[in-house]
């Protein structure tokens, strides 16, 4: 990835995003002082650094000028827009009990007070059970998921044709998720999905079609094995799984392509 100095347009964009970000932070930051909860409309100011840095990076990508220099500038922009929040760095954060962050904070406090590495959902109820060391509960959940088929969209019947037909029907019903649509979802949720799902899916197809012949099959397999399980076995929190899957696929394409050199990965 060649290194070049920023051109005038890049510098102007950087300056515009920095100024706009500082103004937005000044306007949106005050509610953070009156509400310490980790989530809510009052935290929207915390998105400003991320959005500004992402806009800068995407703009340079679209102009085919993204390199180490622009990556560094995107990081600098992010850091500069985070600095106005420095006076809040040591402020306490209150987590909602329904959020994972609340449970993990409870674990951390238990580890410090008891000098242990033990953690459990049981701490929520005053019981020392349901042990879930880091990663354990996810492994146990996956084991139950595939062995007991808990929550699966397709349950094997012993008839291969029927099972394949059920799997195809389940997959077909969920494919619209990757276009940004899922029945029964709120308009705000659909708006978030439409923001990335159609473009992400189009980029995946574009990368597969434009890939060199030796990589095309590999790219198609990566996309299939990433998406297929959630189409057949189920997923939750639309559009979270769709976002993660598309991100994993595109990042995998980029990593594989980067190992082939700039000429070979131009399709990415």
The average pLDDT across 166-181 equals 87
**β-bridge partners, 37:** 94
Q: Are 198 and 179 in contact (CB under 8 A)?
A: yes
The better pLDDT of the pair 233, 44 is held by 44
* Per-residue model confidence (pLDDT) at position 222: 93
* Per-residue model confidence (pLDDT) at position 261: 52
Q: What is the DSSP string of 182-212?
A: -TT--HHHHHHHHHHHHHHHHHHHHHHHHS-
The better pLDDT of the pair 135, 199 is held by 199
Tokens 């953690």 sit on residue: 119
Q: Are 230 and 245 in contact (CB under 8 A)?
A: yes
Q: Which of 50-59, 141-150, 254-263 has the lowest mean pLDDT?
A: 141-150
State the Cα–Cα distance between residues 237 and 151, nearest whole angstrom: 14
131: tokens are 């042990």
**β-bridge partners, 120:** 131
Q: Are 230 and 178 in contact (CB under 8 A)?
A: no
* Per-residue model confidence (pLDDT) at position 8: 81
The better pLDDT of the pair 100, 222 is held by 222
120 pLDDT above the threshold of 60:
yes
* Per-residue model confidence (pLDDT) at position 32: 94
The better pLDDT of the pair 201, 134 is held by 201
Q: What is the pTM assigned to this prediction?
A: 0.57
Q: How far apart are the first and last CA of the chain?
A: 13
């Amino acid at each position: 990835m060649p290194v070049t100095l920023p051109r005038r347009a890049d510098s102007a964009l950087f300056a515009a995003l920095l100024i706009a970000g500082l103004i937005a932070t000044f306007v949106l930051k005050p509610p953070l002082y009156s509400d310490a909860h980790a989530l809510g409309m009052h935290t929207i100011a915390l998105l400003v650094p991320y959005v500004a840095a992402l806009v800068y990076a995407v703009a340079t990508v679209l102009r085919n000028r993204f390199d180490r220099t622009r990556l560094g500038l995107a990081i600098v922009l992010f850091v500069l827009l985070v600095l106005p929040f420095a006076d809040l760095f040591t402020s306490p954060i209150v987590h909602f009990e329904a959020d994972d962050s609340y449970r993990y904070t409870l674990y951390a406090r238990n580890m410090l007070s008891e000098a242990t590495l033990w953690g459990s959902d049981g701490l929520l109820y005053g019981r020392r059970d349901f042990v879930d060391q880091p990663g354990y509960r996810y492994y146990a959940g996956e084991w139950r998921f595939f062995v007991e088929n808990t929550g699966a969209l397709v349950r094997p019947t012993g008839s291969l044709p029927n099972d394949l037909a059920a799997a195809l029907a389940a997959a077909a019903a969920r494919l619209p998720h990757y276009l940004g649509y899922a029945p029964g979802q709120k308009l705000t949720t659909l708006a978030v999905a439409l923001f990335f799902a159609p473009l992400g899916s189009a980029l995946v197809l574009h990368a597969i079609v434009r890939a060199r012949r030796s990589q095309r099959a590999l790219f198609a397999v990566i996309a299939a094995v990433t998406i297929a399980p959630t189409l057949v076995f189920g997923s939750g929190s639309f559009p979270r799984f769709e976002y993660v899957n598309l991100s994993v696929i595109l990042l995998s394409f980029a990593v594989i392509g980067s190992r082939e050199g700039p000429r070979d990965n131009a399709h990415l």
